[in-house]
């Protein structure tokens, strides 16, 4: 799912300017054993005070974005990471870890992953976030400031950059609601409560009632 306008133009400019002078290193330094074999990018140093401050700004923007907050219902967060892909760099097909550590070093169940795009898609080519599911592959190159949200267990990759530089911020969240279908039910009901038009509200309620009947129904 694309969540638009997570960062407004001023916030986006602040992040971009901060990353222009931030220290980067080989992205494989933070990859697991399997991901290390397919990860070819650079990553801002997470121990740098300036980078930590930029990560706080992105997290605050996500926490206060109404769609993200209502859909994800975050309980705990991983540290956020900034990645940079130059010419020829990519991240091969992989699945993220089922558990990580939060900012305080406690184990974190990873329910949802997100990528916040920080580069204008017209300034680079390639570098799409590709998500693979039973319906096939879908590629995402949304506007700068937008986030793409997806289940952490989903196979995904970043296609090779063929022009320019792709900047992004990635992170993982443990939700207060473990099950994806239950999060969707709550999200749809919240949209009805917030005042969708009459026709859309009726459709969302039909959908929710049907899903609840399937969830609770007995043979």
What CATH number does the domain containing 168 carry? Answer: 2.60.120.620
- 82 to 8, 13, 162, 183: CA distances (angstroms): 18, 15, 20, 27
Mark whether 71 and 148 lie in a shared domain: yes
pLDDT confidence of residue 183: 96
What is the distance between the alpha carbons of residues 66 and 3, in angstroms, rounded to a whole number? 10
Q: How many domains does the chain have?
A: 2
126-139 pLDDT per residue, tens: 999 999 999 999 99
Does residue 161 share a domain with residue 71? yes
Residue 33: is its pLDDT beyond 80?
no
% of the chain surpassing 90 pLDDT? 88
Does 53 share its domain with 140? yes
pLDDT at 93 (0 to 100): 94
Closest CA to 80 of 48, 55, 44: 55
Question: Is the domain of 130 the same as that of 36?
Answer: yes
Residues 171 and 184 placed together within one structural domain of the fold: no
Q: Are residues 123 and 150 in the same domain?
A: yes
**Residue 144: pLDDT band with limits 50, 70, 90:** very high
Q: Are 204 and 188 in contact (CB under 8 A)?
A: yes
In this structure, the answer to whether residues 99 and 132 fall within a common structural domain is yes
User: 197 is in which domain, residue-wise?
Assistant: 180-216
- Report the candidate in 124, 111, 132 with the shortest Cα–Cα distance to residue 182: 111
Position 203 confidence tier, pLDDT thresholds 50, 70, 90: very high
Going by C-alpha positions, the residue among 41, 13, 40 that lies closest to residue 119 is: 13
Residues 164 and 192 in one domain: no
């Amino acid at each position: 799912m694309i969540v638009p306008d997570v960062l407004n133009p001023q916030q986006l400019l602040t992040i971009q300017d901060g990353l222009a002078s931030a220290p980067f290193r080989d992205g494989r330094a933070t990859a697991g054993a399997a991901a290390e074999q397919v990860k070819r990018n650079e990553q801002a140093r997470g121990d740098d005070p300036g980078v930590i401050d930029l990560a706080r700004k992105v997290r605050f923007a996500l926490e206060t974005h109404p769609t993200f907050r209502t859909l994800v219902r975050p309980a705990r967060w991983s540290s956020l990471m900034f990645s940079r892909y130059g010419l020829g760099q990519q991240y091969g097909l992989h699945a993220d870890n089922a558990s990580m550590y939060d900012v305080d070093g406690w184990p974190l169940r990873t329910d949802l992953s997100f990528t916040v795009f920080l580069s204008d898609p017209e300034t680079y080519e390639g570098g799409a976030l590709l998500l693979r599911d039973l319906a096939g592959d879908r590629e995402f190159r949304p506007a700068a400031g937008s986030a793409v949200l997806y289940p952490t267990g989903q196979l995904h990759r970043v296609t090779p950059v063929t022009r320019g530089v792709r900047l992004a911020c990635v992170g993982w969240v443990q939700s207060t609601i473990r099950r994806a279908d239950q999060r969707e039910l709550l999200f749809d009901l919240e949209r009805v409560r917030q005042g969708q038009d009459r026709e859309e509200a009726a459709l969302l309620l039909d959908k929710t009632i049907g899903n609840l009947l399937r969830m609770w129904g007995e043979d």
